[in-house]
A and B are shown apart, each in its own frame.
Chain A
């Protein structure tokens, strides 16, 4: 067997896969954050909590209603998206005319409420969620063993990110979204109901978080605090990528996940902080972020 800088390839590729999985979640979450931020100017601090809610919805559906993984993959994002619609309509909407920081504070409060309520109800220990039958097992690729479910998560996340990118950058609906992000007043003056678009954008953005939650459920345990620390890494990802670009969010998310994986192999102590160090470096060199535009 060959070795790479003294690291057995099994370990290296194993960590890379793990990094890629984390990266998939970073990409899905930062994509949602970027879409929401573009349209609402709100940094959605509740994003991690809603990711957790997505995982819990899947778990609750399975445990209490007997609805399995595949329907949950559709239902949970829809439920989280609907929850987002309600939050936007009843609360966030009132804050568009005041300093954008209040949107951040409001969603921080919401995150505390969701995480606190789920912890109160379900405790801090994680709930296991089984891998669906279709995706059990794995394949030996020669240089590493690839568990089917993990391959699915990476592939499906990239597919969803790609589809979102296509929808925003290449379709009529996406043109409305881009235009309304730039100049909502004028888009409204063309006869488009912008407030509804704003609600739907928030709903869609958090639905992506809910989807990530369902995908994560079989890998990590379903835990009320699963999104609490993740979301901050995602914030760093967003700062590194720059808020301006959809593609930037996706590429940065995946790239940083991989980088974390590599760090875990060569210098595991630093793996938790490598993203933040990169953020500091990027801020020094290009404050607007790798794909961002200076405003």
Chain B
């Protein structure tokens, strides 16, 4: 579904991605693991075209994304939940929720979204950034689900959240997987990643150094510890 070949990316003069290659099958949940600065977020941003100086190839359902106008990428059915969540403070919760345009059929209805994230129910007129951190994260995920996107890019959804909230997010992500969404997840918290992912890509210094299927995670624990430096 998503296929990346020898992707190089640049912020101005500085070369941040050095030949990333990976692929994601339909319906899979795949994580990108790695230390800070390994290039996980940059990989996500280069899919969306936010990191625009790119070389190599990114194909989504056979279509090349490099060279495509930035606003057309999400319209293919790719939803992006950024690390900083990006809840708009000048918009109410409802406005935030309905902001991203519906790009494909088959998106979830607001009622279905409220079932998945009960915290968002009845908060429609609240200013978006008045929600708690966990609720903002839910809102950031929720607003993508309406759009009919089939591939979801989740950048560190658990960062800075309390364990009980992380659990709730985990439930939601599993529910999404059950619904057939394909998910690429950037995570530092690989315990969380292990509970939901099918495969893990490990990144170091701007490229993929290893791929570990989730069922072999335990066998590779030592290796992983070295990679992540924990």
Contacts and interface: CB of A to CB of B under 8 A. Distances in A.
Instruction: Let me know if chains A and B touch directly in the complex, using CB atoms closer than 8 Å.
Output: yes
Interface of A: 172, 175-176, 178-179, 181-183, 185-194
28 contacts: A175-B91, A176-B99, A178-B90, A179-B90, A179-B99, A182-B88, A182-B89, A185-B50, A186-B80, A186-B82, A187-B99, A188-B70, A188-B71, A189-B49, A189-B50, A189-B70, A189-B74, A189-B80, A190-B74, A190-B80, A190-B99, A190-B101, A191-B74, A191-B75, A191-B101, A191-B103, A193-B71, A194-B71
A192 B86 contact: no
A33 to B, nearest CB: 18
B100 interface: yes
A175 B96 CA distance: 8
A186 B88 CA distance: 10
A179 B91 CA distance: 7
A186 B86 contact: yes
A258 B161 CA distance: 52
Interface in B88-145: 88-91, 95, 98-101, 103
B88 A191 contact: no
A194 B69 CA distance: 11
B191 to A, nearest CB: 29
A172 B98 CA distance: 9
Contacts of B32: none
Contacts of B74: 189-191
Contacts of A176: 99
Given A186-B82, A190-B101, A178 B71 contact: no
B15 interface: no
Interface in B22-47: none
Contacts of A187: 99
A192 B88 contact: no
B71 to A, nearest CB: 4
Contacts of B70: 188-189
B72 interface: yes
Nearest to A190: B100
Contacts of A178: 88, 90-91
B58 interface: no
Contact of B99 (A175, A181, A185, A193): A175
Given A188-B70, A192-B101, 9 more contacts: A175-B95, A175-B98, A175-B99, A176-B99, A178-B88, A178-B91, A183-B88, A188-B71, A190-B100
Nearest to A191: B74
B186 interface: no
B88 A179 contact: yes
Majority secondary structure, A binding face: helix
Contacts of A193: 69, 71
A186 B99 CA distance: 11
Most buried by A among B74, B95, B147: B95
A186 B153 CA distance: 13
A191 B100 contact: yes
Nearest to B100: A190
Nearest to B48: A189
Nearest to B94: A175
Interface string B53-83: 0000000000000000111111100001010
A183 B80 CA distance: 14
Nearest to A183: B86
Contacts of A175: 91, 95, 98-99
B144 to A, nearest CB: 8
A182 B95 CA distance: 14
User: 10 closest Cβ contacts across the A-B interface?
Assistant: A191-B74, A190-B100, A178-B90, A186-B86, A193-B71, A191-B75, A175-B95, A179-B88, A189-B80, A189-B48
Contacts of B80: 186, 189-190
Contacts of A194: 71
A191 B82 contact: no
A187 B73 CA distance: 12
A190 B147 CA distance: 9
A190 B70 CA distance: 10
Nearest to A196: B71
A211 to B, nearest CB: 25
A187 B50 CA distance: 11
Contacts of B100: 190-191
A187 B80 CA distance: 10
A186 B82 CA distance: 8
Nearest to B80: A189
Nearest to B75: A191
Most A C-beta atoms less than 10 A away, residue of B72, B88, B91: B88
Most B CB contacts (10 A, CB to CB) among A183, A186, A188, A193 go to A186
